[in-house]
Structures are given as C-alpha cells and as structure tokens.
C-alpha cells in the first residue's frame, strides 16, 4: 500500500519544531480533565506530533467555526493516515478509537477552539491553506 501523507496548515509545517513546542499540548485539552485523561497513543501508536499537534495548531489559530470543522476533519484524516501507514493487527481497534477521538472534538471542542479569542466568526470561509507532506 502506498504511504499516506499528512495534512496540516502551511505555517505548521514551516515551523514544525517550534509549533510542536509552543502550540501543542498533545491529545486532550488543558481546559478540563481530558488533557490528563486522553492518551497521546492509540493502543501504543503515538499520534501526538503528526495528529494532535496540527489539531492544536488549528484550534489556536483558527478564526471561523469552519476552521474548527476543517481542523477536526484534518485530525481524523491524520489519525487514519498514521494508523494505515503503521498497519498490523491493531488497525481496526485503532481506527475505532480514532473515531471516538474525532467525535469528542466535534462534540466537545468548541470551548477549546474559542479559548483566548474575543470571538469566533460565523463567516463561511476556511482561512487555513495547507498541504500534504
């Protein structure tokens, strides 16, 4: 199978090491207990740098609710790519766990997305320009 590429906003890739250090807290939110309860691994597969950090970056710098939706879908795609690239007998359980992570950010991520912003725009645009790498 051909290796799947990861997707993130261009500024994340341009300053990846700094973005991970400065903008990323890993999986889960620092605003509640989930930051301590949500593991950075899916049954042993580390998803922090390639999945959770671009998601955190999107939440920090997104300005519209469509940016949040885009960031959540990017998170699901990156988790799926990570899992399928790894392969193995844990693929299906990992994909199921990734789906739970995705549903959680869609359903409960509004507070984290809006944190630190005066307001979030309802404008129907996605402000991120990204790329696959």
Could you tell me the domains of the chain? 7-132 (1.20.90)
Residue 66: CB partners within 8 Å, gap ≥ 6? 123, 124, 125, 126
Pick from 19-23, 39-43, 98-102: least confident: 19-23
Contact 38, 101 (CB under 8 A): yes
CA gap 126, 53 in Å, rounded? 19
Q: Bridge-partner residues for 64, per DSSP? A: 121
16 or 99, which is more confident?
A: 99
Pick from 31-35, 89-93, 110-114: least confident: 31-35
């Amino acid at each position: 199978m051909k290796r799947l590429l990861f997707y993130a906003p261009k500024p994340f890739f341009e300053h990846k090491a700094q973005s991970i250090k400065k903008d990323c807290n890993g999986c889960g939110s620092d605003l509640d207990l989930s930051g301590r309860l949500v593991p950075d691994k899916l049954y042993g597969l580390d998803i922090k740098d390639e999945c959770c950090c671009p998601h955190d970056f999107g939440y920090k710098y997104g300005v519209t609710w469509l940016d949040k939706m885009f960031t959540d879908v990017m998170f699901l795609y990156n988790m799926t790519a990570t899992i399928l690239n790894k392969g193995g007998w844990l693929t299906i359980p990992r994909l199921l766990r990734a789906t739970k992570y995705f549903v959680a950010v869609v359903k409960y991520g509004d507070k984290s997305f809006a944190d630190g912003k005066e307001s979030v725009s309802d404008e129907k645009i996605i402000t991120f320009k990204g790329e696959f790498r």
